[in-house]
Amino acid sequence: MTTRVAVVGGGIIGLAVAWRCVQRGLDVTVFDASDEKATTVAAGMLAPAAEIHAGEEEVQRLLADSAGRWPQFAAELEKATGIEVGYRDEGTLLVALTDDDLREVRRLCGVYERAGQPVHELTARELREREPLLSPRVRGGAYAPQDHQVDPRRVLTALRTALKGRVVTEMVTDLAGVDADVTVVAAGVGTRALTGLPVRPVKGQTVRVTAPQPPLRHIIRGYARNRPVYLVPRRDGELVIGATEEERGFDTSITVGAVLDLLRPAAELLPEVVEYPVSEIAVGLRPGTPDNAPILGALKGDIADSGHGRILVASGHYRNGVLLTPLTADLVAELVTSGVSPQGITPFAPDREALWT
Amino acid sequence: MTTRVAVVGGGIIGLAVAWRCVQRGLDVTVFDASDEKATTVAAGMLAPAAEIHAGEEEVQRLLADSAGRWPQFAAELEKATGIEVGYRDEGTLLVALTDDDLREVRRLCGVYERAGQPVHELTARELREREPLLSPRVRGGAYAPQDHQVDPRRVLTALRTALKGRVVTEMVTDLAGVDADVTVVAAGVGTRALTGLPVRPVKGQTVRVTAPQPPLRHIIRGYARNRPVYLVPRRDGELVIGATEEERGFDTSITVGAVLDLLRPAAELLPEVVEYPVSEIAVGLRPGTPDNAPILGALKGDIADSGHGRILVASGHYRNGVLLTPLTADLVAELVTSGVSPQGITPFAPDREALWT
């Protein structure tokens, strides 16, 4: 008999896991009742160099591995659905407005190097040769050729298309009520209420503007008077300006401070941005964890032992949900099928100590 | 037989004229087909001191006269409808952030004095005694006790209630198609297309934020590093931040530059504003005229002579539409009834030279 898989959560992680499970011949249903997805707010930067703290080498490995899977994942998804998902590999420019900001960029170059990611310093002139609309006041920066992008909204649309008929609009509030052999919890910030796992919301605000012509080819990861901002250009002229990181519980209001924090440095680095219409201001809640690493693997304990089938978790991806999608989908689909944790997943198990101390 | 009056335009001017005509026993129909009204974007500051240029003394007289009619107009409208329209008379504080800004405030005080409007200089300490949430960095300012406010959205709601059944959703594109004894064109920036009068759109953007508690009692008319901004507090915690003035034709996009131009000085003068949720960003088109004065009176020429009844105009109020509403309504209603231009209206006739040179 075909294994019946329930995926709780219709964000990019849940849908990608579901798609990989369908490809393996499983009987999959996605339960998706939320219009508020971190995925639809995310800019889709795929930046695999993480700020590594002690003991976080596994996260770095995960990020690099998943980044390497994106080109194939995107191509496969586009082929299956005919929907272009906006994968772009022009790379990212790190851009500094002041001398102070340039010090921050150089520090970040060190992070790239320690992460084994390529990065090349550029002069102000070299930056403006690549991106003529950058402010003449920028002091310098660097080029990170492996920091790519994808359009998360297009990816969601493509995944929904690939899963046609398998996504139901139904809110799951109790895992015991889900009738399946395996349940995958990919509920983002809703994960805590379902599982008790320590996933907390980290609020992020982004502004979308629409330029008449795409003003940039590269992603800009900028610093202007100690304020970080990124500018992610789409081919249709949309420019995503992001993102705040705020610990405000489940509050999803757009605030004056966040709008200023995003638009001010954006206008300093790319002066023409003041002319652009604002098409959207969006707020999302990233699923954060105590050790900033995702939670991947089988749930143990009361809920899992309630006799309603195996329960797996794919959540807590924090700022890296889009980047980690291909790898998460592959690992979790393998775990669903084999029942055995694939190599590399164990450091991210729901019962790891770092989640609970 | 009762005179049949058609009012083209359902903004604050059109509805107030219609209401006054109904009170005079006329048979009134308002044609209103636009959801985009300058009225709904306006903050509702009632500031009768105008920057007078040569030959504009009549405008100053008009502003002061109408300001004097507001308390009675508001009270009468509230009594007729039971709807509170937010008339507030705490007055306005002129607030300067820097020494440069203080020079601008003092220049403005001169404008008030020449306009015969009271204004009193205040020290920074006196400002903060009146409004404790003002930035400790403000340098000084002044108090204008006669600059009041009303909530234009509430006024519209009240006027619609008072006119119940007389407002029809119908777009008028040709005055010749209107069947009435008298037609009043109060179509704001749509006036030019209907009449050929030189009314042009002057784009204004405003941001509405919502404070948990009203952060101010007074209106703030502020200057921060040469950027003007006003903050208009409602009793429910809404704060209207305005307003840009842009010559961009009929463009109604929200732009990054405008949002920055409003929020930056607002945050410098009232630091707590960064915590407030943004509830709305709105764009309106003020009806501007070549001499910055409204157009009030009978239309002459081809359109008026087409045998479809008299045509009157009440438009071109530019930044003073809300302030000029009570007087405009009284004057135009009198003109409708008597057929004779009331005293004081002639300088604003549609055929005045200043409109056409």
ipTM: 0.89
Q: Quick one: A32 and A178 in the same domain? A: yes
A251 and A340 co-located in one domain: no
- Of B88, B101, B103, nearest in space to B137 by CA: B101
Cα distance between residue B17 and residue B112, in whole Å: 29
Claim to verify: residue A66 and residue A214 sit in the same structural domain: no
Looking at the partner chain, which of B256, B274, B275 has a beta carbon nearest the beta carbon of A274? B256
Show the domain range for A268. Answer: 92-145+207-285
Neighbours of B177 (CB within 10 A): 8
Interface residues of B toward A, Cβ cutoff 8 Å, are 207, 209, 253-257, 259-260, 263-264, 266-267, 273-278, 281
Among the partner-chain residues A253, A259, A274, the one whose CB lies closest to the CB of B263 is: A259
| pLDDT on residue B54 | 62
Q: What is the pLDDT of residues A171-200, one digit of tens each?
A: 999 999 999 999 999 999 999 999 999 999
Two tokens at B113?
């004095």
- At residue A307, the pLDDT reads 66
Beta B27-31 vs B167-168: how paired, if at all?
parallel
A195 and A216 inside one domain: no
Neighbours of B54 (CB within 10 A): 5
Task: Report the pLDDT value the prediction gives residue B56, as an integer from 0 to 100.
Answer: 74
In one-letter notation, the amino acid at residue A40 is T
pLDDT of residue A1: 79
Q: Could A274 and B255 be called an inter-chain contact, meaning their C-beta atoms sit closer than 8 Å?
A: yes
Count of positions (residues) in chain A = 357
CA distance B50 to chain A (A): 30
A275-312 pLDDT, tens digit per residue, is 999 999 999 999 999 999 999 999 987 666 666 689 99
Instruction: Categorize the per-residue pLDDT at A58 as very low, low, confident or very high, splitting at 50, 70 and 90.
Output: confident
Distance from CA of B279 to the nearest CA of A (A): 8
Of B255, B274, B276, the CB nearest to A278: B255
**Mean pLDDT over residues A84-108, rounded?**
97
Count of structural domains, chain A: 2
For residues B334 and B211, membership in a common domain is answered with no
Q: Which helix (H) or strand (E) holds A175?
A: none
Q: Which residues of A touch B (CB under 8 A)?
A: 207, 209, 253-257, 259-260, 263-264, 266-267, 273-278, 281
Please tell me whether residues A311 and A220 are part of one structural domain.
Answer: no
Q: Which of B172, B166, B194 is nearest to B33 (CA)?
A: B172
Q: Do B311 and B175 fall into the same domain? A: yes
DSSP label at residue A270:
S
Residues B238, B338 within the same domain: no
Is the CB of residue B148 less than 8 Å from the CB of residue B68?
no
What pLDDT score was predicted for residue A55?
A: 65
Q: Can you read off the two tokens belonging to residue B275? A: 């915590």
With vertex at residue B68, the alpha carbon angle to CA B184 and CA B28, rounded to the nearest 5 degrees, is 25
Q: What is the CATH number of the domain that holds A252?
A: 3.30.9.10
The pLDDT of residue B243: 93
Partner residue opposite B274 with nearest CB, options A207, A257, A275: A257
Q: What is the pLDDT of residue B34?
A: 81
Confidence tier at A272 by pLDDT (50, 70, 90): very high
- Among the candidates A268, A285, A302, a domain finishes at A285
Rounded to the nearest 5°, which phi and psi values hold at B62? -60, -45
Check residue A341 and give its pLDDT: 87
Verify that A115 and A79 share a domain, yes or no: no
For chain B, which ranges sit under pLDDT 70? 52-55, 302-308
Specify whether the CB–CB gap between B103 and B356 falls below 8 A.
Answer: no
Domain end, chosen from B236, B258, B285, is at B285
- Of the candidates A285, A305, A321, which is a domain's last residue? A285
According to DSSP H, which parts of A240-322 are helical? Answer: 256-269
Interface test mutation site (partner A, options B203, B256, B268, B275, max chain A beta carbons within 10 A): B256
Q: Is residue A216 located within the same domain as residue A280?
A: yes
pLDDT computed for residue A304 by the predictor: 63
Same-domain pairing of B176 and B220: no
The per-residue pLDDT for B52 is: 66
d(CA A355, CA A125): 46
CATH number where A323 lies? 3.50.50.60
Q: Are A260 and B267 within 8 A, CB to CB?
A: yes
Asked if residue A240 has pLDDT above 90, the reply is yes
Asked if A313 contacts A299 with a C-beta cutoff of 8 angstroms, the reply is yes
pLDDT top residue among A306 and A269 = A269
Tell whether A78 and A42 lie within a shared domain.
Answer: yes
Check residue B58 and give its pLDDT. 87
Name the residue type at position B231: L
Beta strands in chain A, from DSSP E residues, in sequence order: 4-8, 27-31, 45-46, 92-96, 120-123, 140-144, 148-149, 167-168, 182-185, 200-210, 219-224, 227-233, 238-242, 278-288, 295-298, 310-315
Angle, CA of A82, A151 and A131, to the nearest 5°: 120
- From A248, which residue of chain B is nearest by alpha-carbon distance? B275
Chain segment A134-143, per-residue pLDDT in tens: 999 999 999 9
Residue range A337-348: average pLDDT? Answer: 90
- In total, the C-beta contacts within 8 angstroms joining chain A to chain B are 64
Helical packing angle, B256-269 and A256-269, nearest 10°? 120
